[in-house]
Amino acid sequence: VEVETWGTADHLTVQIGLSRDDQRLAAEVPITDGIAEVVLDVESPVLWWTHDLGEPALYDLVVRLRTENSILDERQERVGIRTIRVDQSPDPNEPGCKFFTFVLNDVPIFAKGANWIPADSFLSQMTEDRYRELLELAVEAHMSMLRVWGGGIYEKPEFYRLCDELGILIWQDFMFACARYPDYDPDFYAEVAREAEWIVRRLRNHPCLALWCGNNENDWIEDMVYWDQPGHDFPGRKIYHELLPRLVGKLDPTRLYWPSSPYGGNDHNDEREGDRHNWQTWHGAIYPRRFGEPPRRDFSPEGVSFRHYAEDPARFISEFGMHAAPILETLRRNVPPEELYLGSEGMLYRNKDFPKDKGNNLMLAHTGLPKDLNQYIDFSMIAQAEGLKFGIEHYRRRKPHCSGTLFWQLNDTWPGLSWSVLDYYTFPKAGYFYVRRAYAPVMASFKREDDGGYSLWIVNDTLEAVTDEVIWGVCTFEGAIWHREKVHVNVPANSSCRITHMAGDQLPGDPRRTFLFVRSSSGCFPDNREFRVEVKDLIRPHPSLTVGMSQDESGRITVRVSSDVYAYFVKLIVPIEGTRFSDNYFDIFPGEERVVQVWNIAGRTISPAEVEVSCLDHV
């Protein structure tokens, strides 16, 4: 405890109390040269965990500054007891590579999450309720880590307190991003030191804080611009590689300081160690690359296809993503009615990427180009959602060699067209629900093999083994079963397992007219499917949806949707803020029914007439 005094400091003591339920510890110690120090030994502590692995248990800490007769000052905090480290040891099964695995309470974890950016351009608009809404949506999507991006802000105290309470780990960037900062200017350098010391002291007691990172992409961009001068000095190097590690080592030595993101290996975006930003999809960057080599790009539809994620053997992916439009309601609120059409100036203004048509090549690769605004909303959402699903499934299957995915990005700072899965008004895009299923604690997925066949994998992120009977096979979009098989599985805790395989010459049916499916007999993982060709190349019959709705006394609506044939991209649209869905943007297998709950957390009563249900007919 550090104490500042203005006047006499005689007979000052510090009382410290730590408590949780029936555990109570206390001590009183004198102050010596402005410092009071005590160690409290907690027997059988209740540990702080991320929400997916246990309880984010918190203790109440009270610190009082006293004279003999009165309390002069008091601080109260909620703190957690846990250990956190990053395992960067060599990977024995992939020679020449190193792990980059967060280890929480001696348990190696796969960090599932996204990048967090400021949630409003006007910071005073960010209330605790808005923070809670966004963070609870992250928890509902099974996210265990968020990266506070270095191009944003150090968030308000409420943000970190809620992450403590909700069990979300935080990768914390220092606020340096995509620019050259003048470490040669003594006044600026001193200001950086003051700010960094202040923020480390402010945040270091939070159990949610997992890592300090020096900057976003500065080292990487510098090397790509000056690729023919590897290892050269550059503005900002003294900040990220000397000042910040020294301050963190002094003020918070229990956490890893990481110089930049991405960083590690031969090229700052090396797939063999450290963390990577995979921007081949969307930005066309080609990997691998090594120091001294010029950067290369391929902006063709094939070059930006999200299928390239399957080629990535990276250890920890701290950025990757794709643009998608928000729902039509968000555009209606912000684009003049006369410009609410595809390609208008009003629409282009809401797209902050450059060039404005960059997403066309991604859609050309997977959905084809849209003909109008409604198609653009659907096609861009499909490209983003299918791409995030494909990438996350690939990276999770590589566990433990890969140990985390933080896609770009969770939220939006402004109503526009962006990489977010939650738009400015917190309306979820399709990508949010696809990610929620892909981040489920237990996940089944298919991997395309070199022989043209597919292997079935189950990833188990829980701390208990999963025993189940899995049903998988090949089905036509009309409902004819070409292959169906039951497999008894036992997947160890915290592992990824290959279950079975079907060679390419054994796969039945026309790949354009069939799909692979997998489901759990016990419901321990979400149903999944795999298309053997791109969405644009599927040949599907026209689905006929049957929709029924009922509403209970609390206002909650139960929606029942069934289809005679395979229904792709079934969506429920309610353009009212605060509306939540138990599921959305899903597929319905032939002849089956899905039941969805709809409610509003903002207290707004929704009528069944305000729930629009549709699916994508043909691409």
The distance in angstroms from the start CA to the end CA of the chain is 64
pTM across the whole model: 0.97
- DSSP structural state of residue 308: G
C-alpha distances in angstroms, 24 versus 42, 46, 295, 427? 9, 13, 58, 44
Report pLDDT digits (tens) over 218-244: 999 999 999 999 889 999 999 999 999
The answer, yes or no, to whether the previous bond of 355 is cis (omega within 30 of 0) is: yes
The yes-or-no verdict on residue 207 having pLDDT over 70 is yes
pLDDT of the residue at 69: 86
Exposure of 157 in the CB half-sphere (CA atoms within 13 A): 5
Which residues pair with residue 13 across a beta bridge? 30, 66
pLDDT-derived band of residue 8, with 50, 70 and 90 as boundaries?
low
The residue type found at 306 is: F
> How far is it, in rounded angstroms, from Cα 155 to Cα 178?
19
Q: Mention every residue, 6+ apart, whose C-beta is less than 8 A from residue 254.
A: 84
What is the per-residue pLDDT for 231?
Answer: 86
Mean pLDDT of 549-577: 97
CA 98/CA 96 separation, integer angstroms: 7
Tracing tokens 């270095």 back to the chain, one arrives at 150
pLDDT digits (tens, 9 = 90+) for 359-401: 999 999 999 999 999 999 999 999 999 999 999 999 999 999 9
Structure-token pair, residue 438: 């892909």
State pLDDT tens for residues 296-313.
Answer: 999 999 999 999 999 999
Q: What is the predicted pLDDT for the residue at 326?
A: 97
Q: Residues 147-169: pLDDT tens digits?
A: 999 999 999 999 999 999 999 99
From the candidates 133, 155, 217, 271, give the one annotated as an active-site residue: 217
Sign of the C-alpha dihedral computed for residues 227, 231, 234 and 237 taken in this order: positive
CA–CA–CA angle 585, 588, 592 (5° rounding): 145
DSSP for 548-588, written as a single string: EEEE-TTS-EEEEEEESS-EEEEEEE--STTEEESS-SEEE
Task: Report how far Cα 313 is from the mean position of its chain's Cα atoms.
Answer: 19
Rounded Cα gap, residues 432 and 440, in angstroms? 12
Known catalytic membership, residue 165: no
C-alpha to C-alpha distance for 567 and 545, rounded to whole angstroms: 8
Q: Are 284 and 304 spatial neighbours (Cβ–Cβ below 8 Å)?
A: yes
